[in-house]
C-alpha cells in the first residue's frame, strides 16, 4: 500500500534528448508527489512537485505528468544536459489526520547519465 | 544560510559500540526525519518527529533510537550497531502540517560502516 514503484533503475540519454522516469503507486490517499534530485556526495534536493488535482506541471526543462486514474506520474527532462546526470527519486506523501502527522514514501531511484 | 548539518560525515565503527549521529537545522522547522539510503533500495525512513518530544517510527526503525528534546536537534542513536546498519544516512527537515510539507531539506549525509 505504501510503495511507490519507480522505473527504470538506470537511464542513459544523449545530450539534447528527452529523459523520462516513471512512477506508480497504489495508495489513493497520497496527496502530494515531489521529485528529488541527488548529485553524488550530496543529499537529495526538491526538484519539482505536483498535487493530484493537476495533470501537468512544468518548470523550465522539467515537467511532471500526472495520471490520477492510472495512479502513475512521470518526470520528463527536455533537452537533457550532462549537468542533469544525477539520481532522481519520486516520492508520495500521505497525511494521517488522526495522528496529525504525515509520511513521505520514496521510490528506489533512477540513475540518469546524460552523455555528450 | 539555511541548512541541515550532520556529524560526523564519515564513521567506521565496530559491532556493538554505541554511536550517535547528530542532526541540526537552523530553519525553525517542526518536522525532522532520518532516512537510510542503500543501493537498489532508495531512501527508507527510519524515524520522524512532528515536533519537540513527538517522535514516531518510519518504515525501518529496528535497531535505532531518536530523541527530540530541542526543536533544532534530532540525533540518531545506534545502541548496538550491527553490520547490516552499514549505510548512508540522511537527516531532513521541513515545515510541519498538512499544508506545510512541500519541501524537505536534506543534510549532506553520514556514511556509516559497521565492521
Q: What is the pLDDT of residue A2?
A: 62
Dig out the grid coordinates for A94 from the structure.
500521505
A29 — pLDDT class (breaks 50, 70, 90) = confident
Neighbours of B53 (CB within 10 A): 10
Express each pLDDT in A70-110 by its tens digit: 999 999 999 999 999 999 999 998 876 666 677 888 999 99
A41/B42 touch (CB, cutoff 8 Å), yes or no: no
Dig out the grid coordinates for A68 from the structure.
490520477
CB B56 within 8 Å of CB B47? yes
Express each pLDDT in B10-48 by its tens digit: 999 999 999 999 999 999 998 999 999 999 899 999 999
Interface of B with A (CB under 8 A): 4, 33, 35, 40-45, 48, 50, 56, 58-59, 90, 92, 98, 101-104, 106-109
Angstrom distances, CA of residue B36 to CA of A41, B10, B31: 14, 14, 17
- Residues of chain B in contact with residue A39, where contact means CB-CB under 8 angstroms, are none
In 3D space, the residue among B64, B63, B71 whose CA is nearest the CA of residue B26 turns out to be B71
Q: Specify the 3-state DSSP secondary structure of B89.
A: strand
Kindly state the DSSP code that residue A27 receives in the 8-state scheme. Answer: -
- Closest Cα in chain B, distance from residue A72 (Å): 19
CB A115 within 8 Å of CB A13? yes
Express each pLDDT in A32-59 by its tens digit: 999 999 999 999 999 999 988 999 999 9
Is some CB atom of chain B closer than 8 A to the CB atom of A106? Answer: yes
Beta-bridge partners for A77: A19, A62
- Residues of chain B in contact with residue A45, where contact means CB-CB under 8 angstroms, are 106
Q: Is the pLDDT of residue A6 over 80?
A: yes
B43/A109 touch (CB, cutoff 8 Å), yes or no: yes
Average pLDDT across chain B, whole number = 93
Amino acid at each position: 500500500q505504501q510503495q511507490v514503484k519507480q522505473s527504470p533503475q538506470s537511464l542513459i540519454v544523449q545530450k539534447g534528448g528527452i529523459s523520462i522516469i516513471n512512477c506508480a503507486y497504489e495508495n489513493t490517499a497520497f496527496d502530494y508527489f515531489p521529485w528529488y534530485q541527488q548529485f553524488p556526495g550530496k543529499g537529495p534536493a526538491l526538484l519539482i512537485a505536483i498535487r493530484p488535482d493537476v495533470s501537468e506541471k512544468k518548470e523550465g526543462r522539467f515537467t511532471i505528468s500526472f495520471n490520477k486514474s492510472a495512479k502513475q506520474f512521470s518526470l520528463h527532462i527536455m533537452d537533457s544536459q550532462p549537468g542533469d546526470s544525477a539520481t532522481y527519486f519520486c516520492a508520495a506523501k500521505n497525511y494521517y489526520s488522526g495522528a496529525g502527522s504525515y509520511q513521505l514514501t520514496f521510490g528506489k531511484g533512477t540513475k540518469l547519465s546524460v552523455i555528450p | 544560510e539555511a541548512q541541515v548539518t550532520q556529524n560526523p560525515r564519515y564513521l567506521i565503527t565496530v559491532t556493538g559500540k554505541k554511536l550517535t549521529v547528530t542532526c541540526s537545522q537552523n530553519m525553525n522547522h517542526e518536522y525532522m526525519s532520518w532516512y537510510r539510503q542503500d543501493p537498489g533500495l532508495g531512501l527508507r525512513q527510519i524515524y520522524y518527529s512532528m515536533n519537540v518530544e513527538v517522535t514516531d517510527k518510519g518504515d525501518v526503525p529496528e535497531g535505532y533510537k531518536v530523541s527530540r528534546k530541542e526543536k533544532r536537534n534530532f540525533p540518531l542513536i545506534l545502541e548496538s550497531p550491527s553490520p547490516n546498519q552499514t549505510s548512508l544516512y540522511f537527516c531532513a527537515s521541513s515545515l510541519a502540517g498538512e499544508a506545510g510539507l512541500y519541501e524537505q531539506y536534506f543534510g549532506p549525509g553520514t556514511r556509516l560502516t559497521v565492521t
